[in-house]
């Protein structure tokens, strides 16, 4: 479907505007208060960074079944399914399979993994039905969150158990073996509130058979996955000011992956992961509170060792493949906010974290790689006048690879009037290398234990990447029209970029036979400048209709010595997403989501992805059945031509599904 045709469908939804018009009070009551940027509750117009809030209405209207897909609604985000039940997420370029330049949180708990720096979206034990909102900070925020808050922060906030009282059951079934079921029970007595959620999900991501025209061959790809998880949360009100909260999650599954052409890839895995989290919070008032949180997580990719044939230029043998990978994180966080004067607020805190990884195949040792990092931050908000707000702060941290780093930020906001705000900001962010970038030693040995092929060799020692970012923002509100516009102009200057460089060196095995002569090493190489614009428009002309439009433009300039030659093409010139939702009446609602991306090159294992447009539609009806709240929905994903994402063989075709939900 052409972009203009999809947008025409969006516009058609607005025509029967029969509902009551929103008043200014209605509109202003809906403006979000964000928590993620400074760890202080702030109205959106006072935030030192641009923020996109994906709320429950947007989540339901989108029809998306996986949390990463929701990021398509955020300006500048590239989203793709890669393989092995993993997602790739990029922001303004630098897009690869591992999403390693974001800080991703769930209820304040960091979930990116220390091996690749990737986010295990598919093993995250959190149902979309339990998500309250997602706050996305568009821009670096290392001054508060440290390493990995390099380009953006994604904070997934789950529902409070008080919002999930009673029982919920939902089921989903559709084409391409799309299926799922969720059961949830929420209750409580006295000061105790809790919820318990069970989920089972089945996905076939792409068309199984891919025809490669360049080689005139068909190839089968195995991407079927069954994933099951349990999630529980308990909140206990100790007193009027104190609350204790605990969460646990456990994920398991059975995944098929790989392709018939690559015998060294494991085709099956049984991943296992889990976490536990405890948080104590004391809130004496809206401006005086502190909290301490402890969490531990574990992830095992569940791939067993196996023997596979190996063939090089003049040599063949059997090799041991050791794909198993385990990752651990233990973390202690503290934060506090204070009102120092009528015009001055302060947030401060710290973090202590231990990370570890273990994988014979990727580190050539059975031992663990581990390290400890520590950090302290402070952020101040000063009302310098009736219309001026000045915010600044910094984080100082010590990373196990790169030592001490300081990440400052200064932001100044000026209110032209109560509805229109301008913002200027400058910040510095760092990203430390991951274990694999620093110490990866990825190779294959024959049955005698001799190395016969090496894919990645350890680095010679890496410096952190540095992003010096400047931006100008504007937030405008038009309550009489139900409109809100957020625009961000930015320039990110990245130095000491960490990328892969390849080497070709003819090496020998045994009696002089040559074997694969290409291998990779991570190095600091190149300077990059990313300039662009983000814009998002929210339009709610009446109570029963909403439109969310996200638009971005990005351009990447890379120095001649940049480690990855594809960097300038890693950002699409333009990305557009539109989400429209119309409550028709009699319990019916109709929604449509359109996502368009210009051509781009995914880094690491990705390919050139041509420009494509994806349009999803959803029709739903809410009703009561013997006093039970119910909803059925019919949806279609990609109502248009097939397209490829991340790799040319990752073909995403049209698919329809139906869902049914009961709550009582």
Q: Please state whether 641 falls in left (phi above 0), alpha (psi between -120 and 50) or beta.
A: beta
- Cβ contact 346:379 at 8 Å: yes
Assign 28 a pLDDT band (cuts: 50, 70, 90). Answer: very low
Average pLDDT over residues 448-474: 92
Residues pairing with 293 in the sheet: 279, 333
pLDDT at 97: 81
The two tokens of residue 218 are: 């068909």
For residue 215, report the phi and psi dihedrals to the nearest 5 degrees.
-110, 0
Q: How, if at all, do strands 242-256 and 268-269 pair?
A: antiparallel
Whole-number average pLDDT of the chain: 88
- Cβ contact 471:491 at 8 Å: yes
Which run of H or E residues covers position 62?
helix 56-62
pLDDT digits (tens, 9 = 90+) for 580-604: 999 999 999 999 999 999 999 998 7
Helix, strand, coil percentages (3-state) for the chain, rounded to 5, are: 10, 60, 30
**Distances 395 to 13, 46, 348 between C-alpha atoms, Å:** 47, 21, 9
166-175, 211-220, 461-470: range with lowest mean pLDDT: 211-220
Helix/strand/coil for 48? coil
Superfamily of domain 3-215+225-232+242-663: TonB-dependent receptor, beta-barrel domain (2.40.170.20)
Q: Determine whether 538 is exposed, middle or buried from the number of CB atoms within 10 Å of its CB (0-12, 13-18, 19+).
A: buried
Residue 541 has pLDDT above 80, yes or no: yes
Q: At which residue do the structure tokens 């300081």 appear? A: 406
CA 514, 516, 522 angle in degrees (round to 5)? 135
- Cβ contact 538:58 at 8 Å: no
pLDDT digits (tens, 9 = 90+) for 560-580: 888 888 888 989 999 999 999
pLDDT at 508: 64
Domain boundaries, the chain: 3-215+225-232+242-663
Assign 265 a pLDDT band (cuts: 50, 70, 90). Answer: low
pTM of the model: 0.91
Q: Determine whether 387 is exposed, middle or buried from the number of CB atoms within 10 Å of its CB (0-12, 13-18, 19+).
A: middle
207-211, 223-227, 500-504, 601-605: range with lowest mean pLDDT: 207-211
Percent of the chain with pLDDT over 70: 89
The CA distance from 108 to 335, in Å, is 11
The CA distance from 62 to 54, in Å, is 10
The two tokens of residue 428 are: 């510095």
Helix/strand/coil for 409? strand
Residue 298 has pLDDT above 90, yes or no: yes
Sheet holding 442-446, edge to edge: 306-311, 316-321, 442-446, 451-457, 518-524, 498-504
The CA distance from 556 to 619, in Å, is 39
pLDDT digits (tens, 9 = 90+) for 164-182: 999 999 999 998 888 999 9
pLDDT digits (tens, 9 = 90+) for 385-429: 999 999 999 999 999 999 999 999 999 999 999 999 999 999 999
The CA distance from 232 to 156, in Å, is 16
97-101, 393-397, 518-522: range with lowest mean pLDDT: 97-101
The two tokens of residue 558 are: 């890379």
Assign 78 a pLDDT band (cuts: 50, 70, 90). Answer: very high
Chain Cα centroid distance, residue 446: 38
Question: Closest Cα partner for 487 from 529, 545, 411, 549?
Answer: 549
Cβ neighbors of 92 (< 8 A, separation 6 or more) are 76, 151, 492, 530, 532, 552, 554, 556, 571
Average pLDDT over residues 160-166: 94
């Amino acid at each position: 479907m052409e972009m203009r045709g999809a947008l025409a469908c969006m516009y058609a939804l607005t025509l029967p505007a029969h509902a009551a018009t929103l008043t200014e009070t209605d509109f202003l009551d809906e403006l979000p208060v964000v928590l993620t940027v400074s760890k202080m509750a702030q109205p959106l117009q006072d935030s030192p960074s641009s923020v996109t809030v994906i709320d429950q209405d947007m989540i339901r209207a989108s029809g998306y079944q996986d949390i990463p897909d929701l990021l398509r609604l955020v300006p500048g985000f590239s989203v793709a399914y890669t393989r092995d039940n993993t997602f790739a997420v990029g922001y303004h370029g630098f897009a690869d399979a591992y999403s390693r330049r974001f800080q991703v949180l769930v209820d304040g708990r960091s979930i990116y993994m220390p091996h690749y720096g990737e986010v295990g979206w598919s093993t995250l034990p959190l149902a979309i039905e339990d998500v309250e909102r997602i706050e996305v900070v568009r821009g670096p925020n290392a001054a508060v969150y440290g390493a990995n808050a390099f380009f953006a922060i994604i904070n997934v906030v789950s529902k409070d158990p008080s919002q999930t009282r009673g029982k919920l059951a939902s089921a989903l079934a559709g084409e391409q073996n799309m299926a799922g079921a969720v059961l949830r029970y929420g209750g409580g007595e006295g000061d105790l509130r809790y919820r318990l959620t069970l989920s089972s999900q089945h996905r076939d991501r792409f068309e199984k058979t891919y025809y490669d025209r360049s080689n005139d061959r068909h190839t089968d790809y195995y991407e079927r996955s069954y994933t099951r998880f349990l999630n529980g949360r308990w909140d206990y009100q100790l007193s009027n000011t104190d609350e204790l909260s605990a969460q646990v999650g456990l994920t398991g599954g059975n995944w098929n992956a790989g392709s018939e052409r690559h015998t060294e890839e494991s085709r099956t895995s049984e991943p296992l992961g889990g976490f536990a989290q405890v948080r104590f919070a004391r809130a004496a008032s809206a401006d005086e509170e502190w909290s301490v949180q402890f969490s531990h997580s574990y992830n095992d990719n569940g791939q067993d060792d196996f023997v596979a044939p190996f063939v090089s230029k003049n040599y063949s043998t059997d090799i041991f493949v050791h794909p198993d990978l385990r990752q651990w994180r233990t973390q202690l966080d503290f934060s506090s906010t204070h009102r120092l004067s009528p015009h001055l607020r302060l947030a401060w805190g710290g973090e202590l974290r231990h990370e570890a990884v273990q994988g014979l195949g990727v580190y050539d040792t059975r031992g663990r790689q581990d390290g400890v990092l520590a950090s302290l931050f402070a952020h101040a908000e000063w009302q310098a006048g009736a219309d001026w707000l000045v915010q600044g702060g910094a984080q100082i941290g010590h990373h196990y690879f790169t030592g001490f780093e300081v990440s400052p930020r200064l932001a100044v906001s000026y209110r032209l009037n109560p509805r229109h705000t301008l913002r200027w900001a400058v910040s510095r962010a760092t990203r430390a290398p991951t274990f694999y970038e620093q110490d990866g030693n990825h190779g294959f040995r024959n049955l005698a234990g001799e190395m016969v092929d090496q894919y990645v060799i350890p680095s010679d020692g890496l410096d952190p990447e540095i992003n010096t970012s400047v931006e100008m923002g504007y937030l405008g509100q038009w309550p009489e029209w139900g409109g809100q516009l957020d625009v961000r102009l930015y320039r990110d200057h990245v130095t000491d970029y960490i990328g892969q460089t390849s080497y070709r060196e003819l090496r020998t095995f045994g009696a002089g036979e040559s074997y694969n002569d290409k291998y990779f090493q991570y190095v600091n190489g190149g300077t990059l400048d990313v300039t662009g614009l983000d814009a998002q428009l929210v339009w709610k002309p009446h109570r029963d209709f909403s439109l969310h439009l996200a638009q971005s433009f990005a351009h990447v300039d890379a120095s001649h010595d940049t480690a990855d030659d594809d960097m300038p093409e890693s950002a699409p010139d333009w990305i557009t997403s539109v989400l429209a939702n119309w409550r028709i009446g009699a319990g019916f609602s109709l929604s449509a989501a359109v996502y368009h991306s210009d051509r781009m090159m995914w880094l690491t294992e990705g390919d050139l992805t041509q420009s494509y447009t994806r349009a999803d539609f959803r029709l739903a009806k809410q009703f009561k059945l013997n006093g039970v709240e119910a909803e059925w929905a019919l949806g279609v994903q990609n109502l248009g031509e097939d397209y490829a994402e991340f790799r040319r063989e990752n073909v995403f075709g049209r698919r329809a599904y139906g869902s049914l939900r009961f709550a009582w």
